[in-house]
Homo-oligomer: A and B are copies of this chain.
Amino acid sequence: MLVVGIDLGGTEIKAGLVDEKKGIIKKISRPTEVEMGNAQVIANITKTVKELAEKTEFSAIGIGSPGSIDRKNGIVRFSPNFPNWRNFELVRLIKENIEVDVFLENDANAFALGEWYFGKAKGLHDFIALTIGTGIGSGVVCNNTFLTGKDGLAPELGHVVVVPNGPQCGCGNRGCVEATSSAKYIALEAKNLIDRYPDSLVLKLAGKKEKIESKHVFQAYEKNDPLASVVCNFAIDALARAIGGYVHAFNPEKIIIGGGLSRAGDALFVPLREMTKKYVMSSFVDTYTIEQSSLVEDAGILGAASAAFYAEENPFSS
């Protein structure tokens, strides 16, 4: 099967012609031009698809978008990248221009589907995919079923509370794992503490306080920098506790982590694997592995394409 996968970002539309077996055959990108209004965004998506698949027959378009989406009706409820979109009928508008099936998926769920079709979850019946960047997104396959729950809201593993009365989360609650362990939180916490560690390597790597990013904190963590150790140990311990909970809930074969934070590599994964052991009961030890995503920069396109493969193969039953 051949589909078009669209990674719909706030600044760029990345799209690929994707074969279910061979992966990405061709890819292009184009500015989203959100500031030009909705009609221009739709026109840009249409142009991208037509340019990409000029002389090629394809069976569907899959779109991955951040925010809350209604996959059944092809509606973006709201998205951080498109402030004007409230219950925006994205799928209907695209179908006015291009006559194929169009499927919309949340970017984190699309990432999980991408791992299932093309990544480290290929062939698995039970796995969890996490994208850790500004926020923490998630997708779960359990008993060979892609879980979405009653309202299509599942899973939101980033908003499991792991520190009672902990740091404020963007969702309004406190102590969600997104508020303790996302790249954004790690950078924020390092900034909060930097004045108490004026000699920290974190500051040297970043240049100045305002420029501190999670990657600087992890680079310093590898060199045993005291500030970085305080920040990373807290963040990784909380993430480990969250993952321990997911292991008990889903009994997965793999937990696959992508997104900006995963690029920290061993600095993240080695202590994370060790700390997670503390939070699983003995019967679950050695039942799972925690792995870095291998999809890297193509994760968005492959995920969106996989959402189309999945939707074509599993029509909505109700």
Contacts and interface: CB of A to CB of B under 8 A. Distances in A.
Interface stretch (A88-96, A111-119, A149-157, A259-267): A149-157
Interface string A94-131: 00000000000000000000000000000001100000
A248 interface: yes
A154 B282 contact: no
A303 to B, nearest CB: 19
A162 B164 CA distance: 8
Contacts of A252: 149-150
Contact of A160 (B125, B142, B156, B248): B248
B143 A148 contact: yes
Interface string A201-245: 000000000000000000000000000000000000100010011
A249 to B, nearest CB: 5
Interface string A151-173: 11111110111111000000111
A263 B95 CA distance: 54
Contact of A157 (B126, B151, B173, B248): B248
A150 B287 contact: yes
A85 interface: no
A145 B148 contact: no
A284 B159 CA distance: 11
Interface residues of A, number: 52
Contacts of A161: 241, 244-245, 279
A250 interface: yes
A75 to B, nearest CB: 14
A192 B154 CA distance: 39
A295 interface: no
Contacts of A317: 144
A278 interface: yes
A150 B145 CA distance: 12
Contacts of A144: 317
Most buried by B among A155, A281, A318: A281
Given A145-B143, A147-B142, A249 B154 contact: yes
Given A147-B143, A279-B173, A248 B164 contact: no
B142 A282 contact: no
Given A150-B253, A251-B148, A251-B152, A245 B160 contact: yes
Contacts of A171: 281-282
Contacts of A140: 249
Contacts of A164: 162-163, 237, 241
A209 B170 CA distance: 46
Contacts of A68: 283
Nearest to A150: B126
A246 interface: yes
4 cross-chain pairs, A with B, having the tightest CB-CB distances, nearest first:
A149-B251, A154-B251, A171-B281, A126-B150
14 contacts: A126-B149, A142-B142, A143-B148, A143-B149, A150-B252, A151-B287, A152-B251, A153-B284, A156-B249, A161-B244, A163-B164, A164-B237, A173-B279, A176-B281
